[in-house]
Amino acid sequence: MHHVLNSTRPDHRFWFYDDVTQYGRTKYLNYYTPLVLLIFTVLFITYNIWKHYYYYDVLHLKQKNPIDELLYSSTDEDEQSPLINNNTITTNYVDNNCTKDALKNRHFSLEKLKSVKVNGEPHGTPEIVRRGFIEKSRIILEFFLVLSQVIIHSFILLHYVNKNPEFTQQGTITGLVEWCALFIIVSLRLANVNQNFKFINKYPGNLWSVSFINYLALFISMILPFRSIFIHHINSPISRKYYISQISINLALFLLLFFARIRNNFAIIYKTDSWITPSPEPVTSIAGFICWAWLDSFVWKAHKVSIKVKDIWGLMMQDYSFFVVKKFRYFVDHKVKRKRIFSLNLFFFFSNYLVLQCFWAFLGSVLSFIPTVVTKKDPGIC
């Protein structure tokens, strides 16, 4: 009975009356949050390393760069040979040892379609947009901010654990390990800023996304303690300085990636004709996507003059149906281990986009309730 009553005390709840409790801060925000993020980070990178090792070292699938992945075309010499020739060399169009499906794929597979127009000209010209001074400076600044977090949590572990109720041993150690993991990730990204390290490009996966998700979650987790400072529920000077430093650094890290124009890989601008304006989406930040800033110049031009066909922007390279179909065919033929119905293949092919959409929908639904929850209540009214 005593245990049950004790578990309902305010300091053993996450939320009491109008604010998060000290127990909620130390247990849920300072311990569980970095622990979950650390597990997610380790599992994500481990899974990607295992998956890519299986693809490239066991199945010996060829790794393609972003342009080749969309433009891979046939190098089959038989397809280039004329059906009728005047020389004595016989072109072998039929392999007696080839199965019916293999023979059909050899001559009619979508993967072997050339990226050309009807008149034989190239479908378009891809241009790689590399990181400039601003984008490289962004990663360098991120590196030093994450390093500062490692130093802060190391200092807390050495001097304030178990001396201040805000800093428990398990929470501080977990936070330190989490920031050490993020420091390793940002170090790898900084070392590979020019994308010239084969291992980093090939195995760990999208390290930029891992960093972004961690920074976003850690920033959100510090909002409530930051609010507690302003309503005078955290009075310890060291605790106040700690939470202010955390929300400031986490916000800076989040904004660095939120406004980054080039993310994990170099961007690709694709231009199909000399007169067409390529889509600016590949070099648009997440912030630009959310507020539709990338569309501003087109809308402003439409406001000033009447839009003509030549004013319509092109698509992103991966949005052209030709490349979508080729990627889907490659996905089904090389990455699906067993035969599945078309709808399942389609679902798994677009799974990354579906997961991202679900994440933003969930985040938006949660944020819509935050203003009513965190509003400070008046004790006189209650």
The token pair that represents 137 in the structure block: 């400076």
The reported pLDDT for the residue numbered 3 is: 40
Chain centre distance of CA 4 = 43
Tokens 């790794």 correspond to: 63
The reported pLDDT for the residue numbered 107 is: 59
Q: Which value, in Å, is the radius of gyration of the alpha carbons in the chain?
A: 27
257, 217 contact by CB (below 8 A): no
Tokens 């007696």 correspond to: 96
The reported pLDDT for the residue numbered 246 is: 97
The reported pLDDT for the residue numbered 153 is: 97
150, 183 contact by CB (below 8 A): yes
Rounded to whole angstroms, the Cα distance separating 226 from 223 reads: 5
Q: Which of 333, 34, 52 is nearest to 156 (CA)?
A: 34
Summarize pLDDT for 273-285 with one digit per residue, the tens: 888 889 999 999 9
DSSP letter at 15 equals E
The token pair that represents 99 in the structure block: 């199965």
Summarize pLDDT for 151-189 with one digit per residue, the tens: 999 999 999 998 899 999 999 999 999 999 999 999 999
Q: What pTM was computed for the model?
A: 0.81
Cα separations (Å) of 115 from 69, 72, 82, 272, 348? Answer: 12, 8, 20, 11, 25
Rounded to whole angstroms, the Cα distance separating 91 from 77 reads: 9
- Phi, psi dihedral angles at 352 (to 5 degrees): -60, -40
Chain centre distance of CA 81 = 44
The reported pLDDT for the residue numbered 79 is: 46
201, 264 contact by CB (below 8 A): no
- Phi, psi dihedral angles at 73 (to 5 degrees): -130, 170
The reported pLDDT for the residue numbered 162 is: 83
40, 183 contact by CB (below 8 A): no
Rounded to whole angstroms, the Cα distance separating 112 from 74 reads: 5
Q: Which residues pair with 19 in a beta bridge?
A: 16
Helices 207-221, 169-191: axis angle to 10 degrees equals 150
Cα separations (Å) of 102 from 77, 90, 105, 109? Answer: 16, 21, 5, 9
The residue extents of the domains of the chain are 15-61+131-264, 340-376
Distant-in-sequence, close-in-space partners of 349: CB < 8 Å, separation ≥ 6: 327, 328, 331, 332
331, 345 contact by CB (below 8 A): yes
Q: Which stretches in the chain have pLDDT values below 50? A: 1-10, 73-86, 88-91, 382
- At residue 333, the 3 state secondary structure works out as helix
Chain centre distance of CA 276 = 29
Burial class (CB in 10 A: 0-12, 13-18, 19+), 85: exposed
Cα separations (Å) of 17 from 11, 20, 338, 365, 377? Answer: 11, 8, 54, 23, 8
The reported pLDDT for the residue numbered 100 is: 61
